[in-house]
Amino acid sequence: MNNLSELCVSVEPLKPHFKVLDVGDIFLDPRYDRFLSLPVVQDGRPVGTISRSHVQQVFMSRFGRELQGNKPISEFMNPTPLVVALDRSMAEASQYVTRNIVFPITEDFIVTDGDGYHGMGSVIDLIRGLERQLVSQNASLAQAYEKLKDSQAQLVQSEKMASLGQMVAGVAHEINTPLGYVQNNMELVRDAYGKWGELNGVYDALFGLMNSPDASEADLSGYFSRLRDMREEFAEVYPQESMESLFSDSLYGLRQISEIVVNLKNFSRLDQAAVDNIDINECMISALTIGKNVIKHKAEVVRDFGALPKVSCSPSQINQVFLNLVTNAAQAIDGYGKIVVKTLADEQWVHAVVRDSGKGISAEHLARIYDPFFTTKPIGEGTGLGLSIVFGIVKDHGGQIRVKSEVGKGTAFCVSLPIKKRVLN
Ligand SMILES: Nc1ncnc2c1ncn2[C@@H]1O[C@H](COP(=O)(O)OP(=O)(O)O)[C@@H](O)[C@H]1O
Ligand SMILES: [Mg+2]
């Protein structure tokens, strides 16, 4: 619904058969409407309006009807009525009417069709029409908002997948190293077990011989010396301490692998829901583990973790925030530098700071870093979505993100999350 013609159809008083006074009529005409002003026309063209309050005033005053009733309409009418063309939009009409309305003389307006009179409209009609328009606009806005939220969620997901994709090669490498030496160690253990089996076989044979009445002294001493040789060889090839470190190294490697797998699982969780009791330090450790391969060639990571109260947040999203920040930090460093990751808390907030010794951000770029698709990196390295998603996630958590940067010196991002529980939408 856009213009007045639609309003005319839906609102009774605007219908063209509405009562019309001719400029030649006298005031005391029986056709007055109780609720609306009346149009006055001359040769079909509107020339004025008689407002209902004016009519009431005359009729309510003492002898008003007798004294004024026979006077011509032209003496009473408002000769400069509000006139709006039928093809105007409702917004234009309401703008015009609200600017020019003078209560009580011009509270209703004439609608013209070409030059001629078409109907009367009241401010109430306009308000109703506008309200209907608003309702339908609101509905389509709400729809558009839902769509936007959907596509934003998809964007977040695809950025996450992209950054995961980048990380996968690194993570595979991280898993491969411990996996390699655990495998080697297992082979050594198998060899040792084989040798140990041989040794056992000789022991068994010796025991058998010892129980036999025919065993000669020479046989027995032969076995003893063979056993001694074998044991010496075994101790030489598989010394006790090295076997112990073989086991402890393997267990360490397996722990490393399972740590990476757990973090990977946490990281790629698709749920958006907030969880209570999240340790932000653990989220940071997750991000550093997943990003390790990208970071370790670029920077030494200094961890300065404070004791933090648990917060309510979506851990997979917060992991993503930290991974983006540490990845950006590593990517900003030419050569080899330093990334300091610091966490701390005050009464209301948990703060996580990621500071790098990278190239910094110019003032001109600083204003744009949170814009989607803003990137200074070559295609393939940067999507420009990281910080815009970080910003959205932090905002959804009721948190804040701040940045301080000096060109040539480095950059620090500080993410602050509220400790007090809040409902995420
Ligand atoms: N720690 C940082 N040091 C220097 N520049 C940074 C840092 N973090 C972000 N930026 C700048 O902000 C831009 C946008 O970052 P981001 O949204 O993560 O997208 P991307 O990393 O894909 O380029 C980067 O291209 C870079 O210019
Ligand atoms: Mg980035």
Closest-lying ligand 1 atom to the alpha carbon of residue 389 = 17
Q: Cα 340 to chain center, whole Å?
A: 26
Angstrom distance (rounded) from CA 378 to CA 222: 75
**Burial of 410 (C-beta count, 10 Å sphere; 0-12/13-18/19+):** buried
Cβ of residue 411 lying under 6 Å from some atom of ligand 1: yes
Residue having the nearest C-alpha atom to atom 12 of ligand 1:
369
Tokens in use for 402? 């701040």
First to last CA, the chain: 33
Q: What CATH number labels 4-128?
A: 3.10.580.10
Residue having the nearest C-alpha atom to atom 8 of ligand 1:
328
Name the phi and psi angles at 350, rounded to 5.
Answer: -105, 130
In CATH, 270-418 is 3.30.565.10: yes
Query: Ligand 1 pocket test: which of 156, 301, 325, 328 has the largest number of ligand atoms within 8 Å of its C-beta?
Result: 328
Indicate the helix (H) or strand (E) that contains 402. strand 400-406
Q: Cα 382 to chain center, whole Å?
A: 19
Q: Helices (H) and strands (E) in the chain — how many of each?
A: 12, 13
- What residues pair up with 111 in beta bridges, in sequence order? 84, 119
Tokens in use for 134? 């608003």
Angstrom distance (rounded) from CA 48 to CA 39: 6
Give pTM, 2 decimals. 0.56
Angstrom distance (rounded) from CA 368 to CA 155: 19
Q: Could you say which ligand is closest to the alpha carbon of residue 372? A: 1
Evaluate whether 415 touches 351 at the Cβ level (below 8 Å). yes
Q: What is the pLDDT along the chain (425 residues), one digit of tens a residue?
A: 466 766 543 344 454 445 677 887 777 654 555 556 788 888 888 899 887 777 777 777 888 878 887 888 888 888 988 898 888 888 888 888 888 888 766 678 888 888 888 878 877 778 888 888 889 899 999 999 999 888 877 877 777 676 666 667 667 777 888 898 899 999 999 999 999 999 999 999 999 988 988 888 898 999 999 999 999 999 998 888 888 988 998 998 898 888 888 777 766 665 667 787 899 999 999 889 888 878 989 999 999 999 999 999 988 889 889 999 999 999 999 999 999 999 999 999 999 999 999 999 999 999 999 987 889 988 777 778 889 889 988 998 999 999 999 999 999 999 999 998 655 44
Q: Could you say which ligand is closest to the alpha carbon of residue 387? A: 1
Cβ of residue 387 lying under 6 Å from some atom of ligand 1: yes
User: Given 3-state DSSP classes, what are the helix, strand and coil percentages for the chain, each rounded to the nearest 5?
Assistant: 50, 20, 30
